[in-house]
Every structure is written in structure tokens, then in C-alpha cells.
Amino acid sequence: MSESETRSIVVERELPHPPEKIWRALTQPHLIEEWLMKNDFKPAVNHRFTLRGDWGAVDCRVLSMEPHKSLSYTWGAMGLESVVSWTLTPTATGTHLRMEQTGFRPDQNQAYQGAKFGWQRFLANLEQVLARTE
Amino acid sequence: MTKAHDVLFRTLADPTRRAIFERLCRKGEQTVGALTAQAGVSQPAVSKHLAALKLAGLVRDRHEGRQTHYSAQLGALAPLIDWTSRMTGFWQGRFDDLENLLKRMDQ
């Protein structure tokens, strides 16, 4: 692994909707809540916001945005910082939506290891989840 | 959810069993007797929990004379703690919900 290499994941999907509509779903708090989490998002660079799920909160800050085209924000959860970047590309039938989450650099490995052993908390939550699903 | 996750989740959902596993993680190898002394349940109950943990690959046993020593196998937790696979699953689910929302939204 090179020094600059990071752990990252990419999820992409072709959506039969125009970029403008998807942009609304990505940037309007009441819509974000419907597919992601409760939030106090504002479409402004450097705005700090929090995503709240049943299992905890994610601390975020808007890094960059270009309406209907791209949006990125930091994603801090369980002591780890990553960056979530959305890219919207118009296609003949709608939009190609791409999400890339870039994780920890090797020099953040200590934090990564720390999170690994933060599993006790994760398992505690798990018990509650299982209780609900049974 | 995969079958491996299922087994891990079910095995660790029991608080007594999880406490035994956590003690092995913290203190290293322990005998059944030592675990029983701290578990607050009978030795047969502890042995039953250890058997379930072993089945899930979470502990390994080592026989020495009449004693059996158990140790935690942290590697078995990998499916739970692999950040990349967990987050990919998370985002796939979010994308599904986003698609449903887009269907309901006005143009």
C-alpha cells in the first residue's frame, strides 16, 4: 500500500430522474431524512451538520458543492474521519449517480485499529437491533 | 445479511456469552474453571456458551492435562468490523431508499 493510498468505496447507480431532482433529494433536509438520516444540512460550503441515526450520530462538514453536479462532505463517525463525495452526470435516460467514500490513510491506521476494537459498543447496539427484529 | 454474519450476530447477542468472550479478549487465555468463577452461572452453562463460541469460530480450545484453555479468536470478528464491506452495504441500502424517494417526488 502506497503512502497516499486510502481505503475507499464506490457505489454507483443509473437513475431514471434528472440531476435537478436528485440534487434536491441530496440537499434538502426533509428529503435527506427520508433516505439517509435526520439532519440539519444546509447547502453551504463549510456548514457543519449532524446526521442522526438510531445507532448514533455522524459529524459532517460541507467541503464543496456545485449545484446539480457534485457535493462532498466530511463524514466523522466512531472517531474516524472520511469524505463522502457525490457526482451527478446527466445521461440520455436520466442521471448516473456516483458516491465515493474515501476512508483512512495508512497514517490513520491507529484510529482504524481503535475503531476495530470499538466493536463492543457495536455489539451492544446489535442486541437492541435483534430485539426489535425478532 | 450473509450466513456468516447471522451466526456471529446470534452467537454474540447473548449477554452472558458475550461477557465470556469479552473477558477472553481482555485477559487472554482462560480455563473453564476461571471463566466460571467470574461468569455468575454454572460450569455446564459456561461450557455450553464456550461450545457456541467455538462453533462460530470466536474461541479456540487447547487441552493441557485435565484442563481446557480457551482463547479469543479476534479474526472471526472480521465480517463485523470490516469497514469497507459494512459501509458498502450501508450505502447500497441508502441508494435503495433514495430511489424509492425519487419515485414518490414530483418532477
Per-residue pLDDT tens over the stretch A52-92: 977 678 899 999 999 999 999 998 876 567 899 999 999 99
H or E stretch covering A77 = strand A70-77
Query: A11 vs chain B: nearest CA distance in angstroms?
Result: 7
Q: What is the mean pLDDT of chain A?
A: 78
The pLDDT value given to residue B76 = 78
Q: Band the pLDDT of A27: cuts 50, 70, 90.
A: very high
Separation between Cα atoms, residue A100 and residue B91, nearest integer Å:
10
Taking only the tens place, the pLDDT of each residue in B58-93 is 999 999 998 999 998 877 776 666 666 777 878 888
Q: How many contacts, defined by CB atoms under 8 Å, are there between A and B? A: 69
For B:78-97, CB contacts with A below 8 A are 80-81, 83-84, 87-88, 91-92, 94-95, 97
Q: Are A96 and A109 in contact (CB under 8 A)?
A: no
Q: Is the pTM of this model over 0.80?
A: no
Beta carbons within 10 angstroms of residue A74's beta carbon: 15
Cell of B83: 469497514
Do B100 and A119 make contact, defined as CB atoms within 8 angstroms?
Answer: no
Substitution target from A11, A17, A99 for chain B, most B beta carbons within 10 A: A11
Grid look-up 464506490 returns: A10
In angstroms, the Cα distances linking A39 to A53, A67, A76 are 9, 19, 14
Q: Band the pLDDT of B106: cuts 50, 70, 90.
A: confident
Taking only the tens place, the pLDDT of each residue in A65-74 is 999 999 999 9
Query: A76 vs chain B: nearest CA distance in angstroms?
Result: 13
Do B81 and A116 make contact, defined as CB atoms within 8 angstroms?
Answer: yes
Rounded to the nearest 5°, which phi and psi values hold at A115?
A: -65, -35
Provide the 3-class DSSP secondary structure of residue A46.
coil
The secondary structure of residue A38, as a DSSP letter, is E
| First vs last C-alpha separation in chain B | 34
**Closest in A9, A120, A130 to B87, CB measured:** A9
The pLDDT value given to residue B103 = 93
The pLDDT value given to residue A110 = 46
Separation between Cα atoms, residue B83 and residue A86, nearest integer Å:
19
Write out chain A residues lying below 8 Å of B75, CB-based. Answer: none
Query: A12 vs chain B: nearest CA distance in angstroms?
Result: 9
Rounded to the nearest 5°, which phi and psi values hold at A6?
A: -125, 165
Q: Band the pLDDT of B27: cuts 50, 70, 90.
A: confident
Separation between Cα atoms, residue B13 and residue A27, nearest integer Å:
37
Separation between Cα atoms, residue B53 and residue B56, nearest integer Å:
5
Write out chain B residues lying below 8 Å of A101, CB-based. Answer: 87, 91
Per the rule left: phi > 0, alpha: psi between -120 and 50, beta: everything else, A93 is alpha
Torsion of CA A25, A31, A36, A40, to 10 degrees: 110
**Closest in A21, A36, A130 to B94, CB measured:** A36
For B:38-67, CB contacts with A below 8 A are none
The pLDDT value given to residue A88 = 96
